[in-house]
Amino acid sequence: MLTNADIQAALRDCFDPVLPCNIVDLGLVRSITLTHDPEAPGAGIPGVPPKYIVVIEIIPATQDEASQAQLSAQIQNRLAGLEQILHTEVILLDSPIWSPQHITPAGRRILGLEGNPNLIQISRNQ
């Protein structure tokens, strides 16, 4: 059976187009909804795993449409690799607005921001 934890683990392979960290540890993922699809091909056949429709709500770190499209495509492509997922819908939320306070402790380690929980601006190293 597919769980939200399985989806989160897969989403750790998806990186923000601007910030060098995965979307889970950046705090971009607001919700994950898994819905079993009883009409999916093979449903009800013993030994065939159930198929799910996944809806993921994301707070984009940037309002740039190209970055948002890249992020959405990256999520859909990554989850398409999971056999149990029939379809993925990515919803980009307008609010709340993402801020560095959403970054998890693991994300802060990845970005080298430990010890600065009040960070309000991130500079990218080019």
Q: Tell me, what CATH number does 80's domain have?
A: 3.30.300.130
Residue 112 has pLDDT above 90, yes or no: no
Instruction: Kindly report, residue by residue over 55-103, the tens digit of the pLDDT.
Output: 999 999 988 999 999 999 999 999 999 999 999 999 999 998 998 889 9
Q: How many CB atoms sit inside 10 A of residue 87's CB?
A: 15
Closest residue by Cα to residue 13 from 23, 5, 4, 3: 23
pLDDT band at 44 (very low <50, low <70, confident <90, very high): confident
**Backbone dihedral region for residue 85 (phi beyond 0: left; psi -120 to 50: alpha; all else: beta):** beta
One-letter amino acid for residue 42 of the chain: G
Q: Is the pLDDT of residue 124 over 50?
A: no
125 pLDDT exceeds 60? no
Per the prediction, the chain carries an average pLDDT of 89
Tokens 């993921």, located at residue: 56
102 domain residue, yes or no:
yes
125, amino acid identity: N
Please give the pLDDT value at position 29: 97
Both tokens of 18, joined, read 């601007």
Number of domains within the chain: 1
What pLDDT does residue 118 have? 58
pLDDT band at 114 (very low <50, low <70, confident <90, very high): confident
Alpha helices (runs of H) in the chain, residue ranges in sequence order: 4-11, 65-80, 105-111
Residue 122, in any domain of the structure: no
Residue 120 predicted with pLDDT over 80: no
Strands 52-58 and 85-92: parallel
**Residue-number span of the structural domain to which 69 is assigned:** 4-111
Residue 121 lies in a domain: no
